[in-house]
Structure 1
Amino acid sequence: MPGRQNPTFRQRRLGAELRRMREQAGLSGNQLAHMLGVSAPQVTQMENGKTSASADRIRTIAEACKCENLPLINALGGLITSRRKSWWDQYRDGLPDALLKTAEHEDFAASVIRSWTSAIIPGPLQTEDYARGVFSRRIPPLSTEELNLRIEFRSERRRKIFQHPSKSHEAYLHESSLVTRFGGTDVLRNQLHSLIDDSLREDVIIRIVPFTAHTYPGPIENLVYSFGEVPELDTVEVELSRSPIYLDDPTELASYRKVFDHIARAALSDEDSQDLIRQTLKNLKG
């Protein structure tokens, strides 16, 4: 039976954890296939997210790998859902795969979405005019239809995150993002007003790393760290110029948690960050 061509984020993530479980047990693909009574290509397809693994199959694999991490096993079973249409599927023919992957990653988060940006307001916190200013920088320029579709998509991302009852967004921004004018001064002014409003929400924390910080605490790239149902299902998205990369190795996750610890120590408190945004808004001229 041929495997699926485009596994979802959850299907890829499930496969990656099954592969990690096998490798930690010191088993080869052939050995696990023999223990399961299937072919080696079937194991490969499953670990690539291209074929389904039932909850019973996951428990069988865990038993074969002598994995006793019951919370992880249960969480992996929870990733198995029928292939239902997700809200971003309607954009699949009109938007780059990289944008859709970001939406899938945000949807995958079980609780907190933690972000770091240096010169730009994070996507879910952008106003429509600010997003238009960001996307209008593209060379060659986007058509009006493509531009409007991206803005609509970004607005929908924001709605889905903020409407979710169990998700919160912790945004760490460098102060430079408060003065970078995507779309002009009026657009930035409205964006800062929106940022203040968002900072007053119970499900949003916004903290600014000021220019006066002793050192630049984070990477140049924008980051999104999503917390999974269990720590093993945490994921880091590193935004690159062409397409984001996703990291889920435990060592990488531990490293990026430390990165965010450094950023948090350098950032102002919630209240002081609100004051800095207001002061920036007051000083904004043009």
Structure 2
Amino acid sequence: MPPRLNPTLRQRRIGTELRKMREAAGLSIATLSRALGIDRTQVSQIEAAKVGVSPERLRSFAAACKCMNEPLIDALEAMVQDRSKGWWTEYRGTLPEGFLEVAELEKSADSLMLWVLTHMPGPCQTISYASSTFGRLVPPLPRHELEARTAFRMHRKTDLRRDQKPMTFFIYESVLWTRFGGTEILREQLVSLLEDSEHPWMTIRVVPFDIDTFPGAVENLTYAFGKVPELDTVEIESSRGPVYMDAVNELTSYRSIFARTESMALSESKSRSLIRKIAQSL
């Protein structure tokens, strides 16, 4: 079977975790290949997600690395066995790959925590607001691409709500005042945000202007909680596409950032009051 040209986010994560497993055991690629009885090139390709790995090979890999973390091994085996195609694959070739990867990350996560300070969280955006955020880009997007991106964002929103995925949003107050598309679109968006805040599986908290110091992160963040803590992922939003973090020290750092943000955010009820006040003042 020829090597994969474009491994998915899930496939890359499996390879990354197997590489971490090998490195934690202090094994070289050559040593592990001898233990498994396969060519060292095959080990390299498995870790780079260029080729797949069977559940049997996965467990042999873990055993050779003396990995005793059964919950992690079970979670990786479930990922290996998942051959389903997500709805986002319909957009392959139409939208940048980064869009598809974010949808895949959201779908695979047990729960999500977001920190936003430039625009409303994607899972909360109305269609008018979403279209306006994409419409501000320079140079302007062609109409068909603008419509495709907006439709994709609405599909993401619908899918997460269908699953009732637990989500927590920390929103910097400036987001509530920034008028993408104008006053009416922002007012509609704020009313929609208030409605969202009543869902039991959605937590919306505002970080106000008058905090003593800025929480820490100066970019939009998504913390996706995996089936086990080792499979957590941080996505940093970038104009050039999403950047993913999964190293243990990175995850620890971003958990600390979110804990600091949470300590500075208004309560849910006070956040609703502020959102309502701003909507009424527009």
Shared fold per TM-score greater than 0.5? yes
- CA displacement 1:2-52 (0-9 Å, x = unmatched): 211111111111110000000000001111111111111111111111211
Corresponding residue for 2:48? Answer: 48
- CA distance in 1 between counterparts of 2:131 and 2:19 reads 41
- 1:146 matched to 2:132? The reply is no
Shift of 1:84: 3.3
Select 2:176's aligned residue among 164, 175, 178.
178
Residue identity matched to 2:255:
R
- 1:131 matched to 2:130? The reply is yes
Structure 1 unaligned regions, length at least 5: none
SS at match of 1:80: helix
Corresponding residue for 2:79? Answer: 79
Corresponding residue for 1:223? Answer: 221
- CA distance in 1 between counterparts of 2:81 and 2:62 reads 19
SS at match of 2:230: helix
Corresponding residue for 2:115? Answer: 116
Residue identity matched to 2:249:
T
SS at match of 1:79: helix
Kindly, what percent of the aligned residue pairs are identical?
Answer: 48
Select 2:266's aligned residue among 265, 268, 280.
268
* Contact 1:207–1:268 (Cα < 8 Å) also in 2: yes
- CA displacement 1:106-137 (0-9 Å, x = unmatched): 1121x211000112101111000001110001
Shift of 1:54: 1.2
- CA distance in 2 between counterparts of 1:76 and 1:43 reads 17
CA RMSD, Structure 1 to Structure 2 (Å): 1.0
* Contact 1:115–1:223 (Cα < 8 Å) also in 2: yes
Displacement over 4 Å in runs of 4+: none
TM-score, length-scaled by structure 1:
0.96
Shift of 1:162: 1.1
Residue identity matched to 2:201:
D
- CA displacement 1:80-119 (0-9 Å, x = unmatched): 135433201111111111211111111121x211000112
- CA distance in 2 between counterparts of 1:82 and 1:230 reads 17
- CA distance in 2 between counterparts of 1:197 and 1:49 reads 42
- 1:213 matched to 2:211? The reply is yes
SS at match of 1:114: strand
Map 1:84-123 to 2 at 5 A.
84-109=84-109, 111-123=110-122
